[in-house]
Structure 1
Amino acid sequence: MAAQHIFDFSLESDISDWNVVDDVVMGGRSDGPFQLSPEGHGEFRGTVSLENNGGFSSVRYSFAPMATEGNTHIRIRLKGDGKSYQFRIRHSTGISYSYNHSFDTAMVWEDIVLPLKEFYPTYRGRNLDLPNFEHEHIEEIAFLISNKKPEKFKLLIDFIRLE
């Protein structure tokens, strides 16, 4: 099956459906706004704080269900800051848990390839006793940073594809 574009960023991209969820939802002080960079990339940057039991920042994007049949992985073209992140997927926005895959970044543009079968289920940072991802579609993606330390971060995203 041909690659399916989940999101391609450009100067004309409408990012109004991308939603930031920081630890402020539980009293924390992290801040990770999401915007378009001057070059037209998705830019997720900010500060993770451990104050008030915080420690994470994330940005989510929900979309119409996209079939996974014939696809084996997600490819993300990005430029990181040398830090570790999680990429999360959900097969339904109606469930409370997500399937996660961690990845490390370099300070250069690179393609991160994440096999679908390696995404494991978690809820609020705890692994669940469920099989790894094996669903027929996805309808939400997210980037999350939560390295158990206060830090500044910056992630530039060019595209996200299901391949």
Structure 2
Amino acid sequence: MMTELILFDFNRETDINEWRVVNDGVMGGLSEGSIRLNSDGHAVFSGSISLKNNGGFSSVRHRYKTKEVSGYSKVMLRVKGDGKKYQFRIKSNRYDRHSYIGEFTTSGDWETIEIDFSKMYPAFRGRTLDISNYPGAQLEEIAFLIGNKKAEDFKLLIDSISLR
């Protein structure tokens, strides 16, 4: 087993231009989300969720060339949230329609969230699929998403994302 693979370690010099925001506007919704670096060098994923026009989510995504991850078994997120529930998502293949989802609720303090690959379930457009959980062989996309079926403002600070 390998020790750690750092997928992202945010700092003041981090280029976040390859992180892409995808809001529910792709389906007619009115939610607004963004990602930026704060003065401490942490990524800040924040915005406002709207349920109007059948909306209700905001996400931020980063794509990779295929990463071999079979020597790892869990995701480690160093985050500071706002007490709300978020999803961390992985796509094995960027062309897959579904993502593998690990849900977590933030405490309001800096914390390290561990998500076992074996618990990341497959879903597409809010529906859980009847296929196996994340196999942990490769990844091509990671994402954070908020969509708690309520109108709310949100703010998630992200320090690092790694695999163990």
**Structure 1 and Structure 2 fold alike (TM over 0.5):** yes
Unaligned runs of 5+ in 1: none
Taking the aligned partners of 2:70 and 2:34, their CA distance within structure 1 comes to 33
The residue identity in structure 2 corresponding to 1:25 is V
The residue identity in structure 1 corresponding to 2:140 is E
What are the superposed Cα offsets for residues 67-94 of structure 1, whole Å, 9 maximum, x if unpaired?
Answer: 2122110000000000000110001101
1:108 aligns with: 109
2:132 aligns with: 131
Matches within 5 A, 1:66-145: 66-145=67-146
Taking the aligned partners of 1:75 and 1:53, their CA distance within structure 2 comes to 32
State the SS of the aligned residue for 1:32: strand
The residue identity in structure 2 corresponding to 1:57 is S
Taking the aligned partners of 1:108 and 1:53, their CA distance within structure 2 comes to 32
What is the RMSD of the two structures over their aligned residues, measured on CA atoms?
Answer: 0.7
CA shift at 1:2, angstroms? 2.2
- Of stretches 10-19 and 131-140 in structure 1, the one that deviates more from structure 2 is 131-140
After TM superposition, the runs of 4+ consecutive aligned structure 1 residues lying more than 6 A away are none
Q: Percent identity?
A: 48
1:10 aligns with: 11
2:33 aligns with: 32
The residue identity in structure 1 corresponding to 2:40 is E
The two structures have a TM-score, normalised by structure 1, of 0.98
The residue identity in structure 2 corresponding to 1:136 is A
Unaligned runs of 5+ in 2: none
Whether the aligned pair in 1 keeps the contact of 2:9 and 2:159 (CA below 8 Å) is: yes
Taking the aligned partners of 1:51 and 1:66, their CA distance within structure 2 comes to 38
Matches within 5 A, 1:143-154: 143-154=144-155
Q: Across the two proteins, how many residue pairs are aligned to each other?
A: 163
CA shift at 1:37, angstroms? 1.1
State the SS of the aligned residue for 1:117: helix
